[in-house]
């Protein structure tokens, strides 16, 4: 049942927030990323339908497969029915995806002047190019627009590319913007035009030099850039022509609120319930009515305002000012900065899930802990050590940063008691302690150190988590090192700057844009699942939480993705029903 608001359109226009449009943000999303990594390794795959397998589902598939009806996160059996000649490749080891992601990010970063180039998960990058655009705006010669030159360096005037500045590059929203005469000369129009050509150039280079096609959104903030990019996929780009406030609002109005990054699953539900005049009871993820609620419907709801949203969304444990934040997002306003790139990850987290065969014995536990610990040590050597000295003897290499904290998290599975509740109950718990300094020794190999780490630190943490000697039913184990301290000198800890505070502050502001990769080797450049709540808290509260046990349903990881309580995989909002169906069918 729709509410009366739809028949009596109304808007509290006087409360419309304002945002300056000085920034230019590009949002890149590589097309069918994991599949492209395999295609680059083996170009003969390009013409075939390819699916990337992770356990029983497709993490992704290429566009040839998509043309045959195959979709991301589909069950493999379902995909094979639709496309019997689907070529399956195993995507469970994330190393090659991580390496490709780092390489592409490095390329984009090398074109940034302000170094605001932020990765989101492995295949998305935000780039704040405001400074490059301002510089080129000054250089534009109105008398020879068709033969313009875009300068990629403010030091070397020859470094750049030629372009035709009489028109924008790629697609625009609206598709045929009604450009008034005066808008041709408007600074924002010129900035968007220049940005569209820069985006086109960078996309071209990503394809030519590295073999990756991408989709790009161009706008004045992160939310708008990310949403704009989704308008024309794959291998394309869209510039949001936000020359008037009406264009931005029209653009936002069309979107279902669930699709707006930063809205969050729970937040969307509460707002949807309010608009549909429903109580706040849980609603199935695939509820059709809720899923269709658009920004327009929310804003046209009687007496809608940031104060009403604060009432609907606020309450114990919620972020202060959530009403205003959502109100702003619905108007396309997002002041979040693009994070300055860091060479060092905020933490490194390694995990595996054991859904079909939970861990129950000491022997299994020891084997898994040693294997995860060895992966962690290898990852620390790759991500936290000086790259330039890799060819020299291992002992001459230097640590760029030292993590100070070791955290062990586990998730157990246990059947709920009553028959009416057929789903299984999952709970996750964590314990932390200082990371022993012997892990930084370069005299022993990573495997030896990994074993010692298990005996001296990880097993004691495990015993603090689980009293029983066996029969834990472990469905997930995660080992994480965090609280990075940059090394100020080669002697290490204490000589450096604690960057964890910086990460916490940034992450708190930007958590809605953070994607959590919970696959076997988690993305080291973002905080992990258990870090999310910690970001809102002081270190004291964080350590308190470390010893709390939470019961989980679908865990909201950020505004866009969720951790499945059954397998621990990170699932985007749109794929929740499919993913639940996958579990309902059994593994």
Q: 490 — alpha (psi -120 to 50), left (phi > 0) or beta?
A: alpha
Q: Using CB atoms, what's the residue nearest to ligand TTP? A: 60
Closer residue to ligand TTP, CB minimum distance, 234 or 314: 234
Asked if 72 touches ligand TTP (CB under 6 A), the answer is: yes
Buried b (16+ CB within 10 A) or exposed e, 523-539: bbbbbbbbbbbbbbeee
How far apart, in whole angstroms, are the C-alpha atoms of residue 483 and residue 506?
14
Closer residue to Mg ion, CB minimum distance, 118 or 272: 118
Closer residue to Mg ion, CB minimum distance, 19 or 29: 29
- For residues 91 to 130, the per-residue mask of contacts with Mg ion, x marking binding by CB under 5 A and - elsewhere, is --------------------------------x-------
As measured in angstroms, the least distance from the Cβ of 567 to ligand TTP is 11
| Contacted entry of ligand TTP, Mg ion, none for residue 577, CB cut-off 5 to 8 Å set by kind | none
How far from chain centre, in Å, is Cα 477? Answer: 21
Q: Considering CB under 5 A, how many residues would be counted as binding Mg ion?
A: 4
What residues from 382 to 411 belong to the interface with ligand TTP (CB under 6 A)?
Answer: none
How far apart, in whole angstroms, are the C-alpha atoms of residue 140 and residue 160?
13
* Collapsed DSSP state (helix, strand, coil) of residue 392: coil
| Contacted entry of Mg ion, ligand TTP, none for residue 572, CB cut-off 5 to 8 Å set by kind | ligand TTP
Q: 95 — alpha (psi -120 to 50), left (phi > 0) or beta?
A: alpha
Residue whose pair of structure tokens reads 């109100």 in the numeric block:
327
Closer residue to ligand TTP, CB minimum distance, 24 or 575: 575
How far apart, in whole angstroms, are the C-alpha atoms of residue 169 and residue 3?
42
Half-sphere exposure of 49 (CA within 13 A, CB side): 17
Among 56, 572, 577, 583, binds ligand TTP (CB under 6 A): 572
- For residues 339 to 358, the per-residue mask of contacts with ligand TTP, x marking binding by CB under 6 A and - elsewhere, is --------------------
Asked if 29 touches Mg ion (CB under 5 A), the answer is: yes
Closer residue to ligand TTP, CB minimum distance, 72 or 116: 72
Hey, what are 347's tokens?
């933490």
Asked if 19 touches Mg ion (CB under 5 A), the answer is: no
Q: Using N-to-C axis directions, what is the helix angle for 130-139 and 187-210, rounded to 10°? A: 110
Closer residue to ligand TTP, CB minimum distance, 233 or 381: 233
Asked if 39 touches Mg ion (CB under 5 A), the answer is: no
3-state helix, strand, coil in the chain (%, to 5): 40, 20, 40
As measured in angstroms, the least distance from the Cβ of 219 to ligand TTP is 18
| Contacted entry of Mg ion, ligand TTP, none for residue 571, CB cut-off 5 to 8 Å set by kind | ligand TTP
Beta bridge partners of 474: 359, 412
Closer residue to ligand TTP, CB minimum distance, 72 or 258: 72
Asked if 123 touches ligand TTP (CB under 6 A), the answer is: yes
How far apart, in whole angstroms, are the C-alpha atoms of residue 23 and residue 16?
20
Distance set, CA 455 to CA 25, 444, 459, 492 (Å)? 48, 16, 6, 24
Asked if 525 touches ligand TTP (CB under 6 A), the answer is: no
Asked if 555 touches ligand TTP (CB under 6 A), the answer is: no
| Contacted entry of Mg ion, ligand TTP, none for residue 245, CB cut-off 5 to 8 Å set by kind | none
Closer residue to Mg ion, CB minimum distance, 125 or 298: 125
As measured in angstroms, the least distance from the Cβ of 169 to Mg ion is 21
Closer residue to ligand TTP, CB minimum distance, 96 or 115: 96
As measured in angstroms, the least distance from the Cβ of 137 to Mg ion is 30
3 state SS for 56-77:
CEEEEECHHHHCCCCCCCCEHH
Among 160, 170, 234, 520, binds ligand TTP (CB under 6 A): 234
Beta strands 348-353 and 57-61 are unpaired
Q: Considering CB under 6 A, how many residues would be counted as binding ligand TTP?
A: 16
What residues from 23 to 62 belong to the interface with ligand TTP (CB under 6 A)?
Answer: 29-34, 59-60
As measured in angstroms, the least distance from the Cβ of 234 to ligand TTP is 5
How far apart, in whole angstroms, are the C-alpha atoms of residue 526 and residue 533?
14
Hey, what are 523's tokens?
């993305």
How far apart, in whole angstroms, are the C-alpha atoms of residue 229 and residue 215?
6
Closer residue to ligand TTP, CB minimum distance, 211 or 234: 234
What residues from 483 to 522 belong to the interface with ligand TTP (CB under 6 A)?
Answer: 519
As measured in angstroms, the least distance from the Cβ of 559 to ligand TTP is 15
In this structure, what DSSP letter does residue 455 have? I
Hey, what are 391's tokens?
């060819």
How far apart, in whole angstroms, are the C-alpha atoms of residue 111 and residue 341?
12
What residues from 6 to 25 belong to the interface with ligand TTP (CB under 6 A)?
Answer: none
Hey, what are 142's tokens?
């109105």
Closer residue to Mg ion, CB minimum distance, 272 or 517: 517
Site residues, Mg ion (CB under 5 A): 29-30, 33, 123
Site residues, ligand TTP (CB under 6 A): 29-34, 59-60, 72-73, 123, 234, 519, 570-572
């Amino acid at each position: 049942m729709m509410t009366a608001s739809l028949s009596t359109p109304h808007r509290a226009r006087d409360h419309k927030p304002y945002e300056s449009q000085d920034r230019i943000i590009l949002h890149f999303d590589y097309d069918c990323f994991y599949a492209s990594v395999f295609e680059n390794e083996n170009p003969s795959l390009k013409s075939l339908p390819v699916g990337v397998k992770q356990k029983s589902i497709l993490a992704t598939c290429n566009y040839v497969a998509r043309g045959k009806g195959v979709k991301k996160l589909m069950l493999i059996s379902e995909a094979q029915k639709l496309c019997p000649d689907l070529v399956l490749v195993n995507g469970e080891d994330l190393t090659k995806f991580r390496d490709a992601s780092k390489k592409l990010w490095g390329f984009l970063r090398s074109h940034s002047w302000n170094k605001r180039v932020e990765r989101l998960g492995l295949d998305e990058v935000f780039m704040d190019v405001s400074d490059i655009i301002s510089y080129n705006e000054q250089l534009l010669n109105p008398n020879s627009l068709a033969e313009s030159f875009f300068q990629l360096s403010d030091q070397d005037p020859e470094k750049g590319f030629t372009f035709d500045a009489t028109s924008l590059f790629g697609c625009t929203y609206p598709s045929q913007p009604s450009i008034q005469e005066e808008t041709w000369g408007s600074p924002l129009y010129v900035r968007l035009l220049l940005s569209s050509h820069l985006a086109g150039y960078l996309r071209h280079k990503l394809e030519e030099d590295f073999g990756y096609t991408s989709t790009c959104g161009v706008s004045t903030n992160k939310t708008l850039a990310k949403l704009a990019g989704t308008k024309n996929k794959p291998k394309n780009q869209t510039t949001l022509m936000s020359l008037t406030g009406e264009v931005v609002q029209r653009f936002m109005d069309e979107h279902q609120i669930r699709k707006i990054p930063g809205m969050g699953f729970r937040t969307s539900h509460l707002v949807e319930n309010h608009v549909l005049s429903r109580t706040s009871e849980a609603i199935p993820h695939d509820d059709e009515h809720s899923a269709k609620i658009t920004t327009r419907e929310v804003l046209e709801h009687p007496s809608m305002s940031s104060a009403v949203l604060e009432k609907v969304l606020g309450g114990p444990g919620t972020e202060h000012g959530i009403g205003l934040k959502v109100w702003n997002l619905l108007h396309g306003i997002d002041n979040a900065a693009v994070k300055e790139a860091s060479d060092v990850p905020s933490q490194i987290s390694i995990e595996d899930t054991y859904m079909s065969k939970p861990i129950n014995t000491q022997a299994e536990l020891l084997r898994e802990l040693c294997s995860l610990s060895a992966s962690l040590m290898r990852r620390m050597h790759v991500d936290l050590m000086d790259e330039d000295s890799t060819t020299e003897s291992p002992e001459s290499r230097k640590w760029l940063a030292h993590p100070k904290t070791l955290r062990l998290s586990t998730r157990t599975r246990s059947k709920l008691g009553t028959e009416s509740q057929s789903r299984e109950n999952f709970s996750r718990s964590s314990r932390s302690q200082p990371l022993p300094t012997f892990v930084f020794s370069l005299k022993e190999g990573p495997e030896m150190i990994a074993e010692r780490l298990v005996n001296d630190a990880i097993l004691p943490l495990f015993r603090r988590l689980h009293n029983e000697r066996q029969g834990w039913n472990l469905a997930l184990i995660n080992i994480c090192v965090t609280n990075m301290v940059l090394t100020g000198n080669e002697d290490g800890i204490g000589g450096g700057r604690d960057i964890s505070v910086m990460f916490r502050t940034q992450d708190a502001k930007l958590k809605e844009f953070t994607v959590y990769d919970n696959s076997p080797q988690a993305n080291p450049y973002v905080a992990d699942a258990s870090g999310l709540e910690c970001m809102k808290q002081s270190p004291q509260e964080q350590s308190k939480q470390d010893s709390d046990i939470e019961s989980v349903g679908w865990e909201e990881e950020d505004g866009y993705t969720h951790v499945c309580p059954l397998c621990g995989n990170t699932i985007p909002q749109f794929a929740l029903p499919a993913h639940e169906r996958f579990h309902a069918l059994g593994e």
